[in-house]
Amino acid sequence: MTATPGGWRRSHTCGELRAAHVGQTVTLMGWAFRRRDHGGLIFVDLRDREGLTQCVFNPATSAEAHAGAQEVRAEFVLAVQGTVQRRPPGTENPKLPTGEVEVQVSQFRILNESKPLPFPLEDQTEVEEAVRLKYRYLDMRRPQVLRNFVIRDQVYRAVRDYLHAQGFLEVETPFLTRSTPEGARDFLVPSRLARGSFYALPQSPQLFKQLLMVAGFERYFQIVRCFRDEDLRKDRQPEFTQIDIETSFLDRDEFLPIVEGMLVEVWRRVRGITLPTPFPRLAYDEALARFGTDKPDLRFGLELVDCSDLFRGGQFQAFAQVVAGGGAVKGLRVPGGGPLSRKDLDGLVEAAKGAGAKGLVWVKVNPDGLQSPVTKFLEAVKQPLLARLAAEPGDVLLLVADQMPLAATVLGRLRQELAQRLNLVPPHEFRVCWVIDFPLVEWSEEERRWDAVHHPFTAPRDEDLPLLDTDPGRARAKAYDLVINGQEAAGGSIRIHQQAVQEKMFKLLGIAPQEARARFGFLLEALEFGAPPMGGIAAGLDRLVALLAGEESIREVIAFPKTQKGTCPLTDAPAPVDPGQLKDLGIRLVEEP
RNA sequence: GGGGUCGUGGUGCAGCCUGGUUAGCACACUGGACUGUCAAUCCAGAGGCCGCGGGUUCAAAUCCCGUCGACCCCGCCA
């Protein structure tokens, strides 16, 4: 076995030569990153996965090599043999780890040529994403892109090492499975052997991991692809990767520290950062009240403050009526927001309306008094209002009156947007928290029934169990989300492990017994054979890696991602198939009406 | 399904508002010069269906309509 025609073997990588190697004869293999031709002297920066090494082609060393190097172009694949030498004084490159030395080339081979590139491989140049994705294999040669996949690899390993050390068993579950109701749209796979029937790709291994608990595996995990046929975002792809975990015999407060330990280990190994534990916990109601969202970004303040009582029965009719009708007035203090122009403030009003509010009241706190479209209505509550929001001259106050949770969520969006705009978000900080005590169900107006907030297998809190019969909307679930910098990074729950409770839940959700039997009777049956108490979580691996890499979009940390329309510019998937394939499956295409 | 931004040589952009030269700049590319560069430099050159289709006009990269595509957002995502 030889690495190249002629029997050369790579002796070092392009990232490892140092002053200590001076005098050694080495063989490097890699890509010609850049060539600098001085006529009498040619420099080629040879790049491989590990780094960059300057190779010098000097006719005094080898006229043949020097002549050959003139043919070299960007991204030619080279094998280079020569002597490591210290660079002449004054020509060292402190920007390169290998910058103290260079390889004086005595002979080299062109292992392969390359066409001119469709785009430059420099890190700093911005190239349209569709072009990058069409030539993703070239894009990935950029050190910045490679770095993201090194981080991803470190995350895989940290997760596996940690969970294995904690006694978790790694198990694979099927991709070809059956469609389940609720949740996202399924990707369907037609069956040839059972014509007219379809597999569904899993939205998550939810049911299987519960079966593994019934099986007595006790601690399971899997780094697994999940599929959801919904519209894409920068943090959502049709196929994405979850760290899926399930445990037996642990209640929430025993389980969450295990997950915290995993996150701590990942952040420690990848970023050298020690996340403080335990992670703070926020009840869902509290998160909504203080931040106007169930995934609060804790890197900055701008907390929402309830001002409802200040306006109850007051002369500001618009607000007083909302409060009288059971709604709330939520306030947000924008410190130093004074410079916001009338146009900015009008923009905020529009944004609030766009988010569903009937309106937004802004108040400038000037040294000589309040300035607002509704100043005269505010005079009566001026002092308590300023005190409630801890306002100071130069601030801007934003007030939204509406039903809860709308009043809070509207202001929550403005909070996020203003933090961005006013540069209040520290760029290199990680703030992690748990959001717990989610509602179990919420009323769906359009379907006229209760919907599971998390999923139908989530257990209600024990003390809320009676509420299922009397006031389901007030029942809280044993569910939890892990939120990092305002992003949902993981979500899970303690499951229902008693068949009677599960059936009650289905009944509440309007899933008829026959339908439940038909759809996942196998799970209900399993629950009758001694199912242990169980609970787990699923973490979005792509989002974790993006956070660790400082990338905005998970596409930057997925090897071959899809565009926003779900296509792959590289393979041109999805694509029509051969009529014979359709015939095998018993599928006939119909024209759109 | 809806809203927004964008689409101009291989890449990144300018020109478009206010229609009228040979569509301009940088990088890449090709040829030449050059023995210490590292975003090498200098000289010369080639390269354009201005996304696509229609309309207005004497005349369209530019104005209008439609359409396709990329990205961001809303809806959607248990």
Please report the ipTM that was assigned to this predicted complex.
Answer: 0.93
Instruction: Place A5 in a pLDDT band, splitting at 50, 70 and 90.
Output: low
What is the nearest nucleotide to A87, using C1' and CA? Answer: B36
* Residue with CA nearest C1' of nucleotide B38: A93
Token pair 């029937």: residue:
A197
Could you tell me which residues are beta bridge partners of residue A222? A244
A332 token code pair: 């947000």
Instruction: State both tokens at A24.
Output: 């050694």
- pLDDT at site A203: 95
Q: Give CA–CA dist A192/A203, Å, rounded.
A: 22
**Is the per-residue pLDDT at A74 higher than 70?**
yes
Output the six-digit token pair for A429.
């900080």
Report whether the peptide linkage leading into residue A574 is cis, meaning its omega lies within 30 degrees of zero. yes
* Residue A26 identity (one-letter amino acid): V
Q: How far apart are CA A52 and CA A414, in angstroms?
A: 46
* CA–CA dist A330, A408 (Å, integer): 6
- Residue A424 and residue A406 in contact, taking contact as beta carbons nearer than 8 Å: no
Kindly give the residue spans of alpha helices, DSSP state H, lying in A104-205.
Answer: 129-134, 136-139, 143-165
Mean pLDDT of A37-60: 96
Straight-line distance from CA A110 to C1' B31, in Å?
Answer: 22
Mean pLDDT, rounded, for A233-244: 97
CB A500 within 8 A of CB A460: no
Span A455-502, pLDDT tens digits: 999 999 999 999 999 999 999 999 999 999 999 999 999 999 988 899
Instruction: Report the distance from CA of residue A126 to the C1' of nucleotide B28 in Å, as an integer.
Output: 14
| Residue lying closest to nucleotide B32, CA to C1' | A39
Cβ contact A33:A74 at 8 Å: yes
**What letter would DSSP give residue A192?**
S
Say how far A42 CA is from B35 C1', in Å. Answer: 9
Q: How many CA atoms lie within 13 A of A116 on its CB side?
A: 0
Minimum-distance nucleotide, CA of A488 to C1'? B77
Between the CA of A38 and the C1' of B33, what is the distance in angstroms?
A: 9
> Nearest CA to the C1' of B30 belongs to which residue?
A116
Listed residue (A270, A420, A418) closest to A337, CA to CA = A418
Q: Can you give the C-alpha Rg of chain A in angstroms?
A: 30
Cα–Cα nearest to A78, from A21, A33, A38, A42? A33
For chain A, what is the mean pLDDT? 93
Mean pLDDT of A519-545: 94
In this prediction, residue A1 carries a pLDDT of 46
Per-residue confidence band for A447, with pLDDT thresholds at 50, 70 and 90: confident
> Which nucleotide lies closest to A232 by the C1' atom and the CA atom?
B77
What letter would DSSP give residue A376?
H
**pLDDT tens digit sequence for A347-404:** 888 888 888 888 899 999 999 889 999 998 998 899 999 999 999 999 999 999 998 8
* φ and ψ of A503, to 5 deg: -70, -35
pLDDT value for A323: 94
- Could you write out the DSSP letters of every residue in A427-459? TT---EEEEE--BSEEEETTTTEEEESS-TTBP
pLDDT tens digit sequence for A259-307: 999 999 999 999 999 999 999 999 999 999 999 999 999 999 999 999 9
Cα-flanking dihedrals φ and ψ of residue A200, to 5°?
Answer: -120, 145
Which bases of chain B are under 7 A from a protein CB atom? 1, 10-13, 27-30, 33-41, 69-78
pLDDT of residue A446: 75
Using DSSP bridges, classify how beta strands A432-436 and A479-484 pair: parallel, antiparallel or unpaired. Answer: antiparallel
Query: Average pLDDT, stretch A567-578?
Result: 93
Question: For the purposes of burial, counting CB atoms within 10 Å of the CB of A167, is it exposed (0-12), middle (13-18) or buried (19 or more)?
Answer: exposed
**CA neighbor of A535 nearest in space, from A202, A274, A219, A276:** A219
Nucleotide closest to A442 measured between CA and C1': B78
* Separation in Å: B14 C1' and A51 CA: 36
CA of A33 to C1' of B34 (A): 21
Nearest nucleic acid nucleotide to A41, CA to C1' distance? B35
Distance from residue A507 (CA) to nucleotide B29 (C1'), in Å?
69
H or E element, residue A99:
none
Which nucleotide's C1' is closest to A182 (Cα)? Answer: B78
Nearest to residue A482, comparing CAs of A423, A515, A422, A438? A438
Q: What pLDDT score was predicted for residue A563?
A: 96
Tokens 């959700």 belong to residue:
A509
pLDDT band at A448 (very low <50, low <70, confident <90, very high): confident
* CA–CA distances in Å: residue A126 to residues A121, A131, A282, A559: 10, 11, 40, 18
Query: pLDDT-based confidence at A529, cuts 50/70/90?
Result: very high
Reported as a pLDDT band with limits 50, 70 and 90, residue A181 is: low
Check whether A83 has a pLDDT greater than 90: yes
Stated in angstroms, how far is A567 CA from B52 C1'? 20
